[in-house]
Amino acid sequence: MFQPFTEEHEQFRKTVRAFAEKELAPNTDEWEETGCFPGWVFKRAGELGILGAHFPEEHGGGGQDYWFSVAKAEELPRSRSAGVGMGLLVQSDMATPVISDLGSPEQIEEFLKPALAGDKIAALGVSEPAAGSDVAGIKTVARKDGGDYVINGSKTFITNGTRADFVTLLAKTNPDAGAHGCSFFLVPTKTKGFQVAKALKKIGNKASDTAELFFEDMRIPARYRLGEENMGFMYLMQNFQTERLIAAVSAISGGFHMIEEAMAYGRERTAFGKPIIKREVWQHKFVDLLTRLESAKAYVYLTVDRYNEERYIKKQPLSMETVKHISMCKILIGDLASDVADNCLQFHGGWGYIEDFRIARAWRDQRLLRIGGGTTETMKYYIAKLLGM
C-alpha cells in the first residue's frame, strides 16, 4: 500500500494516540452520559499541537502537510467516542480551514489563532431546519446596513453549537441569486441577537453537543465578512471537501477498531463448546470486511494524496476530478462503515444490544456518516452532474 507517512508524521501520531487513549478514553463513558465533553479537551488538544498541525505557521499552526490531519483522524477513534472526535474535527477541519484560506490578518488573529490554540471553540453554521444538503436553499439573510450586516434566520445540527465562542456562518447576502448570493461571516456568539435556541438530543455521537441557533436582528461589523461578498457558496464547496475526506479517514479507522474489539470478544465468548471466533462463518465475514476496509483505505489514501498535492503543495483550488473522488470515498466508506458496525453488533449477539458494550455506541455513531457533510444521495447527485449525466 502507498505509504505517505514520515518519521515526523509517526511521532505526531504517537502524540495523538497517547492523548486519545490516556486523557480521553478514560472519561468518554461519562461524557456520553452527560451529552457533552468539557472545554479543557480543546485546550489540551491545542497545547499538543493537534488542532493546527496542518495549518501555516503564520496562522498559528505547525506548517505541516495534510497527512498530519490524516494521522490525527486515524488516532482519535481510540478515544472510544465518535462524538469527541467529531467535536475536535469540526474545530480543526471544518469551521477553521476557510478562515485560513480567506481570512484577513485581523480575522486570523481574532478567530483562527485562538481556535487552533484551543482558546476559542469554533462551530460551522450552514445547515438549516429546511435546508440541509441543499445548501443553496438556506434562508438566513445578512442585509448590509451602513458599515454593518444585520442577520436574521436560524441554523440547526450545529456541532459545538451550545458552547462555541464563534460560528463560521453562511448567510444569503443576495436572496434572489440562489447559490450565488451567499457569503461567509465570522460571528462571535456574544453578539446581541445571537441565541442558542436549544440543544438537540441525538441517537448517536452523544458526547458532542449539537445545537439549533437563532439570529434576530444580529448586527455584526462588515469586517467580519469572510472573503468576497456573494462568493460563499464557492468557498463552501471547497471547504466541504475537507469535511467529507476527513470523515472518511476517521470512519475507516473506526471500522478497524470495531473489528479488533469484536475479535477480542470472540476469543473470550464461548458457544456450543468453542470460542465463537473459531466459527468459520464469522471468520469469513471478518476477512471479507477487512479486505473491503483495506481496499477502501488505499482508495482514500490516493484521494488524500491528490488533495494534499493540490491544496498544500500547489496551493490551488481542488480540481473537479479530486472533488469527484472525495465524494466517491464518502459514499464508499458510509456504506462500508454501516456493514462493519452491523456485523460486529450481530457477532456480539444480545450483548451487542446492551449499552454497556461499546459496539452498541459505535453502531449508532457511524450512521451519521451517510448524512453529515452531504447525504449519500446528494453525493451521487453531484457525481452524476460531474459525469455529464
What is d(CA 373, CA 28) in angstroms, rounded to the nearest whole number? Answer: 24
Tell me if 244 sits within 8 A of 368, measured CB to CB.
Answer: no
Q: What is the dihedral of CA 288, 291, 295, 300, to 10 degrees?
A: 90
Q: How many residues does the chain have?
A: 389
Rounded-to-integer distance, Cα 255 and Cα 339, Å: 9
Is 243 catalytic? The answer is: yes
Q: Which residue has the cell 502524540?
A: 15
Question: What are the Cα distances from residue 104, in Å, to 46, 112, 383?
Answer: 22, 10, 33
Q: How far apart are CA 271 and CA 265, in angstroms?
A: 12
For residue 186 the three cell numbers come to: 465570522
Distance of CA 378 to the CA centre of its chain: 17
Query: Closest Cα partner for 258 from 284, 286, 277?
Result: 286
Find the Cα–Cα–Cα–Cα dihedral 177, 112, 246, 300, rounded to 10°: 90
Catalytic residue, candidates 106, 216, 243, 321: 243
Q: d(Cα 22, Cα 20) in Å, to the nearest integer?
A: 6
What residues contact 33, with CB distance under 8 A and at least 6 apart? none
The cell for 18 is: 497517547
Q: Which residues are catalytic?
A: 243
